[in-house]
């Protein structure tokens, strides 16, 4: 299942590059963050975000992918190197197809997935149809709502803390996802961006996920911008050996738009 998801996402990205329409412009947005500390504690953090958007006729193909990796170098009491210990290692990606009936309403089909070494799930895959409503769009404000009915596959990680220990297993279920995207261009070169998402199961309402990303971007050239963002991931049903319900990270990024 994971290999199939990766192949589908790659094929979707390649289709963005091949389905050209001269009347509308392909857009790409890339963010890269890197931090390194040295001294008593050595750490490194790498984060990347990629957004691709190809409109053609009344259609849009959109891809969003995120990657985050962090590690800490461990030493013993004598200052001897022990090991590099991973503290974060996660990714998520979504491929959207939109058919725009008009400037307000669009049909949508969503294929998404995510993986996190330190979560309850080895990986999650979800797909299904939905709709997008553009509440308003002008030079300053752009607000969109999206809702999808989904079928989901969750590969649940083994949990050695239970009695008896729980082996790795697959959980299949139907559910839904709702999200909003809001952009506020508050100066000529600066904008505020807010994304919020809620995904849940129909039969078990305690099985839900929340994601929020808040960003402020300021242009430094025609292509490059600097940005600061705070991303929050919340999982309501987690295994006992997973550290926290909420995973948050603050990033400063170099951004390229082309």
Hey, where are the domains in the chain?
2-257
CB atoms within 10 A of CB 52: 19
Higher pLDDT, 160 or 103: 103
| Beta bridge partner(s), residue 143 | 136, 182
The whole-number average pLDDT for the span 72-100 is 81
Buried b (16+ CB within 10 A) or exposed e, 78-90: eeeeeeeeeebeb
pLDDT of residue 61: 97
- The pLDDT-based confidence of 43 (bands split at 50, 70, 90) is confident
3-state secondary structure 28-90: EEEEEEEEEECCCCEEEEEEEEEEEEEEECCEEEEEEEEEEEEEEEEECCCCCEEEEEEEEEE
The percent of residues in the chain predicted with pLDDT above 70, rounded, is 84
**In this predicted structure, what is the pLDDT of residue 191?**
97
Output the pTM of the full model: 0.85
Contacts of 29 (CB under 8 A, 6+ apart): 49, 50, 51, 52, 255, 256, 257
CATH class of the region 2-257: mainly beta
Q: What are phi and psi of 41, to 5 degrees?
A: -130, 130
Mean pLDDT of 11-26: 56
Residue-wise DSSP of 195-214? EEEEEEESS-TT-EEEEEEE
């Amino acid at each position: 299942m994971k290999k199939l998801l990766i192949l589908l996402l790659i094929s979707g990205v390649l289709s963005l590059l091949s389905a050209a329409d001269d009347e509308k412009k392909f857009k790409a947005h890339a963010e890269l963050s890197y931090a390194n500390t040295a001294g008593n504690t050595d750490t490194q953090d790498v984060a990347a975000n990629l957004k691709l958007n190809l409109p053609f006729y009344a259609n849009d193909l959109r891809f969003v992918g995120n990657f985050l990796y962090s590690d800490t170098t461990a030493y013993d009491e004598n200052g001897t190197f022990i090991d590099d210990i991973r503290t974060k290692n996660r990714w998520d990606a979504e491929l959207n197809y939109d058919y725009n009936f008009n400037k307000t309403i669009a049909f949508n089909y969503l294929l998404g997935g995510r993986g996190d070494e330190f979560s309850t799930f080895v990986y999650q895959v979800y797909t299904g149809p939905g709709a997008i409503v553009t509440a308003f769009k002008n030079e300053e404000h752009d607000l969109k709502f999206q809702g999808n009915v989904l079928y989901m596959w969750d590969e649940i990680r083994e949990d050695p803390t239970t009695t008896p220990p729980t082996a790795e297993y697959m959980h299949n279920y139907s559910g839904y996802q709702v999200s909003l995207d809001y952009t506020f261009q508050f100066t000529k070169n600066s904008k505020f961006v807010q994304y919020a998402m809620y995904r849940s199961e129909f039969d078990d309402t305690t099985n839900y996920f929340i994601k929020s990303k808040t960003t402020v971007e300021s242009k430094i050239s025609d292509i490059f911008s600097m940005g600061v963002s705070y991303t929050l991931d919340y999982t309501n049903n987690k295994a006992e050996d997973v550290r926290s319900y909420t995973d948050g990270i603050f990033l400063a990024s170099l951004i390229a738009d082309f």
